[in-house]
């Protein structure tokens, strides 16, 4: 039962080449002598020594020289040497019974002890020391393994036993292996330099704990620490230094245990140097064997030194059985992680801390989660913290992460990445008001793409979100983002708010409250909805990049620089207030239109609203006020849905053009649709122009002129409608108005209208307070019931050809119509002076039409002319370089002066009258029977090469000058009522009646059946 190796005794199994084997064992084994099992090279060819017993005592006098030494008692306690250990008296170890015959000697219940100095000395001489125990091994005094030694501590873990390290184990490169069938508790330092540290448990946990936080517990080495079938790891106030390939903490569980639940505890302070990887994988267990574990991170500070890496990963990957009961996971840990209390991550520059959770795919229940952040988070030191939750699933959604934090601070060049991928019901659920501060650093909180066809919501914030400093990305890549409170971006903060921005997804970024941006905000996503107000501060910027639509239900107050760009859709705004620069660019579609239903107020700066969508519209339903700067609205179609005013001047300020600031308006469109009237007021320049290389239509073409809507330019210095080389069609009424209180014709309050296009079609009235200038490089066409009216100025029309069926008039100014092409047809024209010119073409006035110069001259000039209506003025000049025809029923009337008609050939079928009348044809002149030429008080002169008179001529004096043949037909009647009738011709065929107070006929040949008489 008892084996003793006395002090001074020696067992020698050494050999010249190889050492032998020496085994000393017994129920009680007392070793105090020497055992020598050397070979030629003890490290390579040394032998094997085993000292075993239920109770084993190794004195510090023992010298063992061998390659491997196995110590194998039930329990081992490694202690420092004490007085009394120098003797081998069995009474010291066995205190019950006596040596009397027949009396059993029982062992001392005190556990077997080994001295640390003995083991350290062994390890100097032996390559491997293997200490085994059936139950427990306690290291209660420090051990130095040396530079080449290998200490193995092996406990079978019987009777709930294990291995406990209560004092330091050190080496200068030697290795330590701990194998336990139970547990391993480390409470003091294990510092092995570059040596290997391998720890394995089978049925218990592995703990590295300094409960009091006083001993600066440090673990240094490289190797693998593997927990077994129980829970996992416990860390408390510990420093982990993974040298070279680093330290790997993992788990290895027998599938037969049916235990895939992982429970880890991290408490106090955790310091990391080198490479430390904690990786737990239970994905090989069935889902219902791995939903009840939890990792608890209660680390006040995680310190990761320069050039180091810390990783914690838990792999629960696997899909649940379809139809599994969600209540089964209610209140369970899901093998997830809980970050308890406030956490500081002090990560040095270039270093990282990584947390990875691969989830099971289990039906979510209320508050179920794979990660919860319950305190504030701080990242310092300039390094990076990465958290990723991966819920890979092709269909079923599962739980995500819950953030109960109120503050996340990432400072000093540090980075924090909170990412979630896969099919989560909600990737990140934020329960409280949350402030994210990344001054000098970067924060990313995002749902990202993965295997995620079942994903529902990415980031959901139930309350307010505040961004303070640095660079922050927040939102979802492939899922809905919801912020149910307000969003505030402070100064010196760069924020990307992201909604689903993947493929053709229609998932939204929804913000229930107000968005206040004092920094730099970029919004990205397919659909963005802000249900409150959007405010951009004075030094702030907004960049909205959206695929389909950007909507603000409240007011949009822009005091900074804002650019909103929609790739495939439009925007929806209520009221817009701008004081700096705002650009809105859309590509509206039939599904996503561009609508501004409220008022637009532009106090200063530029405001540009552009829709690039083909044949789509911008709907404007509110008033637009512009104090200064340029306002541009551009779209293929612009629809004025209410009666609105676009004006210069805001907040009751004077809106006329005298204000010191300059404000300009440009509307670019193919079609300006008017559901109601549009009033444009007070601008320095207001222009409606055709969108690039297109025609321009203003008003609805429904043929209902009586109910047509009106575009009014009120108190606008420069009003213009243009299409350059394309066409303008006016279906609506167009008016200019304003005060004309000043005497100067160029008064700032005077307003005029300019229309410039290739072809101009006027289907409704144009009324200008001052002038109307129309330039058509090809043709001007007006509808019969359309009037062009300049009430206090001139009308000037320049065209190549014209078909003016309606009225053109100026109450107090002149009308000038010039055509450079072949034809000019005019109807009713009224002005103080009227000039109609078709220098190289034909002028036609229709029957019943009137050209009326109310106080001055009426001048009609053309190559050829056909006069079917009335031309009147104080004086009238009608000139045709080729032929001129006045039709029966037409009238040319000089009310107080001369009527002068000149042509190459002339045919007079209507009435010509004036104080004096001069009709000249360089070739032939014909007056038809229906014609009447009258000069009430003066001279009438007809001059031609050949003349044929069939109508009447009545004047005080009449002179007929014909260088060729003069013919008067029988029905003609020529009267010089109070003066002289002079007929001068080469040949005179006088078949009609001619008379005067004095009659003179100068003709080489005179004949005819008529009469020439003198009263």
Q: What is the 3-state secondary structure (H, E, C) of 233-261?
A: EEEEEEEEEEEEEEEEEEECCCHHHCCCC
Residue 464 CA to residue 948 CA, distance in Å, equals 98
pLDDT tens, position by position, 163-197: 999 999 999 999 999 999 999 999 999 999 999 99
Provide the edge-to-edge strand list for the sheet that holds 34-36. 10-12, 34-36, 63-65
Tell me the mean pLDDT in the region 584-591: 93
| pLDDT beyond 70 at 125 | no
Map residue 158 onto helix, strand or coil.
helix
Count of other CB atoms within 10 angstroms of residue 248: 18
Residue scoring higher pLDDT (237 or 10): 237
Output the average pLDDT for the chain. Answer: 88
| pLDDT beyond 90 at 742 | no
Return the residue matching tokens 């063992």: 64
Quick one: the chain helix, strand, coil %, rounded to 5? 5, 60, 40
Tell me the mean pLDDT in the region 510-532: 97
List the one residue out of 12, 3, 4 whose CA is nearest residue 34: 12
| Confidence band of 20 (pLDDT split at 50, 70, 90) | confident
- Spell 522-553 as b/e; 16+ CB within 10 A means b: bbbbbbbbbebbbbbbeebbbebbbbbbbbbb
Map residue 651 onto helix, strand or coil.
coil
Question: Residue 955 has what DSSP assignment?
Answer: E
pLDDT tens, position by position, 830-852: 999 999 999 899 999 988 899 99
Residue 956 CA to residue 981 CA, distance in Å, equals 9
Token digits of residue 279: 């990786």
| pLDDT beyond 90 at 354 | yes
Return the residue matching tokens 């701080």: 378
Return the residue matching tokens 């002169």: 941
Tell me the mean pLDDT in the region 873-879: 94
Token digits of residue 701: 């073409």
Tell me the mean pLDDT in the region 897-921: 93
Question: Residue 496 has what DSSP assignment?
Answer: E
- The sign of the torsion formed by the CA atoms of 531, 537, 540, 543 equals positive
Tell me the mean pLDDT in the region 445-449: 94
Share of the chain above pLDDT 90, in %: 67
Residue 647 CA to residue 626 CA, distance in Å, equals 6
| Confidence band of 59 (pLDDT split at 50, 70, 90) | low
List the one residue out of 680, 675, 586 whose CA is nearest residue 635: 586
Strand partners, 282: none
Lowest mean pLDDT among 145-154, 431-440, 737-746, 833-842: 737-746
List the one residue out of 465, 581, 481 whose CA is nearest residue 528: 481
pLDDT tens, position by position, 621-675: 999 998 888 889 999 999 999 999 999 887 655 544 444 678 899 999 999 999 9
| Confidence band of 706 (pLDDT split at 50, 70, 90) | low
| pLDDT beyond 80 at 92 | no
Tell me the mean pLDDT in the region 415-444: 96
Q: Where are the beta strands (DSSP E) in 574-684?
A: 576-578, 581-586, 594-596, 600-602, 606-611, 617-620, 624-626, 629-640, 644-648, 663-674, 678-681
What pLDDT is attached to residue 344? Answer: 98
What pLDDT is attached to residue 90? Answer: 32
| pLDDT beyond 60 at 215 | yes
| pLDDT beyond 50 at 110 | no
Residue 992 CA to residue 82 CA, distance in Å, equals 167
Lowest mean pLDDT among 119-123, 578-582, 716-720, 854-858: 119-123
Map residue 694 onto helix, strand or coil.
coil
| pLDDT beyond 50 at 336 | yes
List the one residue out of 632, 628, 681 whose CA is nearest residue 655: 681
Asked if residues 665 and 638 have their Cβ atoms less than 8 Å apart, the reply is no
Strand partners, 61: none
Angle at 141 between CA 140 and CA 147, to 5 degrees: 130
Count of other CB atoms within 10 angstroms of residue 325: 12
Asked if residues 832 and 814 have their Cβ atoms less than 8 Å apart, the reply is yes
Return the residue matching tokens 């599994």: 324
CA 391 to chain centre: 27
Token digits of residue 441: 């650093």
Token digits of residue 53: 């017993």
Residue scoring higher pLDDT (100 or 366): 366
Domain spans of the chain? 295-313+333-485
- Within 8 A by CB and 6+ apart from 117, the residues are 60, 80, 81
């Amino acid at each position: 039962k008892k084996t003793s190796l006395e002090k001074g005794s020696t067992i020698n199994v050494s050999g010249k080449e190889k050492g032998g084997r020496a085994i000393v064992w017994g129920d009680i084994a007392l070793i105090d002598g020497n055992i020598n099992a050397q070979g030629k090279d003890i490290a390579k060819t040394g032998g094997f020594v085993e000292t075993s017993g239920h109770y084993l005592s190794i004195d510090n006098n023992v010298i063992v020289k061998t390659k491997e030494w196995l110590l194998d008692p039930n329990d081992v306690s490694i202690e420092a040497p004490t007085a009394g250990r120098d003797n081998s008296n069995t009474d010291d170890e066995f205190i019950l019974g006596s040596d009397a015959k027949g009396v059993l000697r029982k062992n001392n219940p005190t556990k077997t002890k080994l001295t640390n100095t003995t083991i350290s000395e062994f390890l100097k001489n032996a390559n491997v020391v293997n200490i085994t125990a059936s139950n427990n091994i306690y290291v209660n005094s420090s051990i130095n393994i040396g530079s080449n030694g290998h200490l193995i501590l092996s406990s079978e873990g019987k009777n709930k036993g294990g291995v406990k390290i209560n004092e330091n184990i050190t080496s200068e490169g030697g290795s330590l292996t701990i194998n336990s069938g139970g547990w391993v508790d480390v409470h003091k330092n294990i510092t092995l330099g570059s040596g290997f540290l391998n720890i394995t448990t089978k049925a218990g946990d592995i703990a590295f704990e300094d409960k009091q936080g006083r001993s600066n517990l440090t673990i240094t080495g490289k190797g693998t620490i593997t927990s077994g079938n129980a829970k996992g790891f416990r860390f408390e106030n510990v420093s982990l230094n993974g040298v070279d390939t680093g330290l790997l903490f993992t788990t290895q569980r027998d599938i037969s245990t049916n235990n895939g639940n992982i429970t880890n505890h991290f408490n106090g302070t955790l310091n990391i140097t080198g490479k430390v990887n904690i990786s737990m994988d239970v994905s090989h267990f069935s889902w219902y064997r791995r939903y009840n574990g939890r990792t608890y991170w209660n680390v006040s500070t995680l310190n990761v030194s320069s050039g180091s890496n810390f990783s914690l990963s838990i792999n629960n990957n696997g899909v649940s059985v379809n139809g599994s009961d969600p209540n089964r996971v209610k209140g369970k840990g899901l093998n997830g992680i809980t970050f308890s209390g406030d956490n500081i991550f002090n990560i040095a520059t270039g270093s990282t801390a990584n947390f990875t959770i691969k989830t099971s795919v289990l039906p979510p229940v209320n508050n179920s989660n794979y990660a919860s952040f319950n305190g504030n988070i701080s990242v310092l030191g300039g390094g990076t913290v990465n958290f990723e939750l991966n819920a890979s699933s092709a269909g079923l959604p599962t739980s995500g992460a819950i953030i109960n934090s109120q503050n996340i601070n990432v400072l000093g060049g540090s980075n924090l990445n909170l990412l979630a991928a896969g099919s989560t019901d909600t990737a990140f659920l934020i329960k409280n008001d949350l402030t994210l501060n990344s001054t000098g650093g970067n924060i990313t909180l995002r749902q990202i793409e993965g295997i995620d066809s079942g994903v529902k919501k990415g980031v959901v914030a139930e309350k307010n979100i505040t961004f303070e400093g640095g660079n922050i990305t927040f939102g979802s890549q492939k899922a809905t983002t919801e912020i149910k409170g307000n969003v505030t971006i402070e100064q010196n903060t760069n924020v990307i708010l992201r909604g689903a921005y993947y493929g053709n997804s229609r998932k939204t970024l929804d913000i229930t409250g107000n968005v206040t941006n004092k920094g730099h905000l970029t919004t990205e996503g397919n659909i963005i909805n802000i249900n409150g107000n959007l405010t951009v501060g004075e030094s702030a910027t907004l960049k909205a990049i959206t695929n389909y639509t950007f909507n603000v239900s409240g007011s949009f107050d822009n005091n900074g620089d804002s650019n909103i760009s929609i790739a495939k859709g439009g925007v929806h705004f209520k009221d817009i207030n701008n004081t700096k620069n705002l650009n809105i660019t859309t590509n509206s579609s039939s599904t996503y239109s561009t609508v501004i239903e409220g008022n637009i107020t532009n106090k200063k700066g530029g405001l540009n609203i552009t829709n690039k969508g083909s044949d789509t519209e911008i709907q404007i339903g509110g008033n637009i006020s512009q104090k200064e700067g340029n306002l541009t609205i551009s779209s293929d179609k612009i629809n004025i849905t209410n009666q609105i005013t676009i004006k210069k001047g805001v907040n009751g300020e004077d809106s006329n053009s005298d204000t010191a600031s300059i404000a300009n308006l440009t509307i670019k469109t193919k079609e300006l649709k008017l559901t109601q009237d549009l009033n444009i007021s007070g601008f320095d320049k207001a222009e409606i122009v055709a969108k690039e290389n297109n025609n321009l239509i203003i008003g609805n073409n429904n043929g209902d002129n009586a109910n047509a809507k009106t575009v009014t330019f009120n108190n606008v210095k420069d009003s213009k409608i243009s299409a350059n080389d394309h066409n303008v069609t006016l279906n609506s009424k167009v008016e200019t108005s304003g005060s004309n209180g000043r005497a100067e014709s160029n008064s700032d309050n005077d307003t005029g209208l300019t229309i410039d296009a290739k072809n101009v079609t006027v289907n409704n009235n144009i009324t200008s307070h001052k002038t109307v200038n129309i330039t058509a490089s090809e043709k001007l066409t007006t509808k019969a019931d359309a009037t062009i009216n300049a009430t206090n100025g001139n009308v000037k029309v320049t065209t190549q050809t014209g078909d003016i069926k309606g009225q053109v008039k100026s109450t107090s100014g002149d009308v000038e119509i010039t055509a450079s092409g072949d034809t000019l047809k005019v109807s009713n024209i009224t002005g103080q002076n009227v000039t109609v010119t078709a220098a190289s073409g034909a002028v036609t006035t229709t029957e019943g039409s009137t050209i009326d110069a109310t106080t001055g001259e009426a001048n009609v000039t053309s190559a050829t002319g056909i006069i079917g209506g009335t031309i009147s003025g104080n004086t009238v000049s009608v000139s045709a370089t080729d032929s001129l025809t006045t039709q029966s029923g037409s009238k040319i009337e000089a009310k107080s002066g001369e009527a002068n008609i000149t042509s190459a050939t002339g045919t007079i079928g209507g009435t010509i009258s004036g104080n004096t009348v001069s009709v000249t044809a360089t070739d032939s002149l014909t007056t038809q029977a229906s014609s009447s030429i009258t000069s009430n008080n003066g001279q009438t002169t007809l001059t031609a090469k050949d003349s044929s008179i069939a109508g009447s001529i009545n004047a005080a004096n009449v002179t007929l000058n014909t260088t060729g043949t003069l013919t008067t037909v029988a029905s003609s009647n020529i009267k010089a009522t109070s003066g002289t009738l002079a007929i001068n011709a080469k040949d005179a065929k006088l078949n009609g009646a001619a008379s005067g107070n004095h009659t003179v006929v100068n003709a080489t040949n005179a004949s005819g059946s008529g009469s020439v008489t003198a009263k």
